[in-house]
Structure 1
Amino acid sequence: MIFSCEEHVDIAIDTIVNDYETFPSLEKIEPEKKLSTTCEYCKNNAIYVVANT
């Protein structure tokens, strides 16, 4: 599972595809659940959760 901002969501998707050889699920984080979750590639707030299913 990778937390990602808008700018880095494509990198997160590529990482899941390369690591697991499957298309990932992409979910938008609900505004009330964002809390202080940050992007794994920068320090911006995460908007998406990219995961292998």
Structure 2
Amino acid sequence: MIYCCEEHVDLAIDTIVDEFETFPELSKVEEKDLSTGCEYCRNAAIYVVANR
């Protein structure tokens, strides 16, 4: 599971596809995780990219 901002969503999708060889599930960050940061930069995470 990768938390990412709008700018890095493509990179997160590519990472999941490379690691798991399947299209990932993309969802918005839940309200309880709003303080979570992007794993690629210091911006706030907007999306969660995960393998199914």
Q: TM-score, normalised by structure 1?
A: 0.90
- How many equivalent residue pairs? 52
| Mapped partners of 1:47, 1:35: distance in 2 | 8
Moved over 6 A (4+): none
Match of residue 28 from structure 2: 28
Unaligned runs of 5+ in 1: none
Sequence identity (%): 73
Match of residue 9 from structure 2: 9
Unaligned runs of 5+ in 2: none
RMSD of aligned alpha carbons = 1.0
| Mapped partners of 1:35, 1:7: distance in 2 | 17
Q: TM-score, normalised by structure 2?
A: 0.92
Residues 27 and 48 of structure 1 are in contact (CA less than 8 Å); yes or no, is this contact kept in structure 2? yes
Taking the TM superposition and a 5 Å limit, the aligned residue runs for 1:33-48 are: 33-48=32-47
Deviation at 1:29, TM superposition (A): 1.5
